[in-house]
Amino acid sequence: MFFTTFVSFFDSYSLGTTDSDIDNHLFLDSPVNVITVLLAYVLFIFKWGPQIMKSREPFNLKTLMIIYNVVQVFFNLILFIMAARLMPNFSAYCSPANISHTATDVAIRKVHYYYVLLKFIDFFDTVFFILRKKHSQISLLHLHHHIGIASTTWVTLKTIPGGVAMFVFLVNTFVHVIMYLYYLINLLDRTKTMWWKKHLTQLQLVQHFFVFIVFFIHLINYECSYSKGFLIFYLMNTLTTIYLFSKFYFKNYIFKKTHSKAI
């Protein structure tokens, strides 16, 4: 009942039925807005943040991070439910862009828009690392994932909304519910979540393999109208993500375990 009420609330917020209606929403009226946010994000990571923290002790952000993770679990769950409701309209073989003025296509663009906003909210993950002086956690994988997915989802919303990208929204919001729940429990009691970490990385890898397969099916289906150029880009980006996640997994769970046994 509780989540149904909130899903209904988000469903009632309409993006409109035309491209001009979508363009009037936050971040969507001009690419300058997104470029500015991405540039500020990068500058904060590599310049402003380190300068601010240079002579400071790490901030204690536990309470703020607990609230942040609760918010992330909640909104990712809401968006997952919204996406799941719409999935009967999609096919793993061909799901073209949703650009019509029907109620279903408007609802799909709505989910796409909310997903874009969530990806910008995810930037706070990195901000917290900087303010807590956890610079070692800001890896190439971390930056590639955050910057890549935020910019890509924005571009696709503006040009080819919905479509096969909905499979990404569905699995990614599901994984993020689990991921931010892990972070939340870890903040409350670290001993209860240590065994999750390896399996969480495995789940993330499964997610990206699933996305790669769906994108590849769309690419080789020549009768599908979804942009082949974007599909090629998606596939290359997903392969890079799989490589980086696999590298992280082997480094932290395979090679480290082998090394421990040798010792």
Query: Read out DSSP for 179-222?
Result: HHHHHHHHHH-GGGTTTHHHHHHHHHHHHHHHHHHHHHHHHH-T
Please state, in angstroms and as integers, the Cα–Cα distance from residue 83 to each residue in 24, 169, 174, 182, following that order: 23, 7, 10, 22
Find the catalytic residue in 135, 142, 145, 218. 145
Q: Are 190 and 153 in contact (CB under 8 A)?
A: no
Q: Are 109 and 22 in contact (CB under 8 A)?
A: yes
Assess whether 145 carries a catalytic annotation: yes
- Report the distance separating Cα 140 and Cα 247, nearest Å: 11
Residue 45 DSSP symbol: I
- Dihedral of CA atoms 33, 25, 78, 243 in degrees, nearest 10, equals -30
Q: CB-based contacts of 185: which residues, under 8 Å, 6+ apart?
A: 192, 193, 196
Residues acting as catalytic residues: 145
